[in-house]
C-alpha cells in the first residue's frame, strides 16, 4: 500500500498541490486501498494472508506502472515535516512527536473505547464476537481501512524524509512490521497484544538493526536477524498459549 500511495501522492506533488491537499490525498488513497483488503476478507471471505499477499503484488505492480519503473524525486511538498523544534536543550523531530502522538491515540482507542474492545474480541474469537452482537463484517472492513490510513501516514513521513517515490518503496517492510509486533508481544493468533508493545518492539528492532550496521556487518545480516527474531518470538507465543491450555 505504501508504494502505491507514495507513487500517487508524488505525482500530485509534482503538480504543485499544497501540503494539506497532498496529505489528505495520501490518507484517502491509503484508506481506499485498505478498504479493498477489508471487503475481500470480510465480505468475500477470502483468506486474509492470501488476500494481503495478492494485493501487495497488485499495488506494487500499479506503482511500477504509475512511475514507469523510474523513481520520482525532488518531492518537497512534505519537507516542513522533516524538521522539528527545540524543547529546552533537546531537539524533537516532528516525525518522532507524531509517532508518539499516534501511538498514544491508538492506545486510547484500543483500550478505552468500545470500538477497541470489539477489535480485541474479533481477534480473539470472531464467532464469539459475532454471537455477542459485534458486527464483525463491518468491523473487519473498518480495521483494514485503519491499516490503510496508517499506510497513508507512513507515506507522508516517508516522502518528507527521502523526498523520492520509487516502485520498490518499502520492500520488506511487511516483515519488519510483523517482527516489531511479535517482539512487542502481539500474538500472531490474534486477541492479545498492545500498541505500546508494538511500538516498543519497533524501537527495539530498529536499535538492534542499527547496531548490526554499525558493527560493520553486511545488509544481508539485518534480514537474517529479522527472520530469526520472528521465528523465536512466534515459537515463544505458541509455547505460551500451549501452557495456558494445559
Q: Using a pLDDT cut of 70, give the percent of the chain over it.
A: 99
pTM over 0.95: no
Class of residue 98 by CB neighbours under 10 A (exposed 0-12, middle 13-18, buried 19+): middle
Measured CA to CA, the distance from residue 130 to residue 121 in angstroms comes to: 9
Q: What count of residues does the chain have? A: 246
Tell me what pLDDT residue 63 has: 94
pLDDT tens profile 6-27:
999 999 998 889 999 999 999 9
Indicate whether 159 pLDDT > 80: yes
d(CA 158, CA 28): 16
User: In sequence order, which residues have a C-beta less than 8 Å from that of residue 64 and are 6 or more positions away?
Assistant: 167
Region 157-173 average pLDDT: 89
Asked if 5 and 152 count as a contact pair (C-beta separation under 8 A), the reply is yes
What average pLDDT is seen over the chain? 89
Confidence check: pLDDT of 246 > 90: no
Say what the pLDDT of residue 10 is.
93
Contact between 120 and 110 under an 8 Å Cβ cutoff? The reply is yes
Tell me the H-state helices in the chain. 2-14, 19-42, 48-67, 94-112, 114-124, 126-131, 136-162, 173-183, 195-214, 219-245
What is the structure's pLDDT at 176? 84
Q: What is the residue extent of each domain of the chain? A: 1-81+118-169, 172-246
pLDDT for the residue 245: 67
Amino acid at each position: 500500500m505504501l508504494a502505491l500511495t507514495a507513487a500517487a501522492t508524488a505525482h500530485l506533488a509534482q503538480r504543485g498541490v499544497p501540503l494539506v491537499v497532498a496529505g489528505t490525498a495520501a490518507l484517502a488513497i491509503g484508506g481506499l486501498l485498505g478498504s479493498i483488503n477489508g471487503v475481500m476478507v470480510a465480505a468475500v471471505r477470502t483468506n486474509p494472508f492470501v488476500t494481503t499477499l495478492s494485493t501487495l503484488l497488485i499495488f506494487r505492480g500499479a506503482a511500477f506502472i504509475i512511475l514507469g519503473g523510474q523513481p520520482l524525486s525532488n518531492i518537497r511538498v512534505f519537507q516542513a515535516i522533516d524538521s522539528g523544534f527545540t524543547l529546552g536543550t533537546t531537539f524533537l523531530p516532528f516525525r518522532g512527536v507524531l509517532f508518539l502522538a499516534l501511538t498514544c491515540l491508538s492506545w486510547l482507542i484500543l483500550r478505552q473505547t468500545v470500538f477497541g474492545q470489539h477489535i480485541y474480541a474479533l481477534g480473539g474469537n470472531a464467532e464469539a464476537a459475532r454471537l455477542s452482537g459485534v458486527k464483525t463484517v463491518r468491523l473487519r472492513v473498518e480495521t483494514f481501512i485503519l491499516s490503510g490510513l496508517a499506510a497513508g501516514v507512513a507515506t507522508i513521513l516517508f516522502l518528507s524524509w527521502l523526498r523520492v517515490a520509487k516502485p520498490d518503496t518499502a520492500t520488506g517492510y511487511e516483515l519488519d512490521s510483523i517482527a516489531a509486533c511479535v517482539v512487542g508481544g502481539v500474538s500472531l493468533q490474534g486477541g492479545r497484544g498492545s500498541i505500546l508493545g508494538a511500538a516498543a518492539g519497533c524501537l527495539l528492532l530498529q536499535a538492534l538493526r542499527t547496531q548490526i550496521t554499525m558493527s560493520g556487518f553486511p545488509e544481508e545480516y539485518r534480514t537474517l536477524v529479522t527472520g530469526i527474531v520472528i521465528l523465536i518470538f512466534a515459537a515463544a507465543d505458541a509455547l505460551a498459549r500451549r501452557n495456558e491450555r494445559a
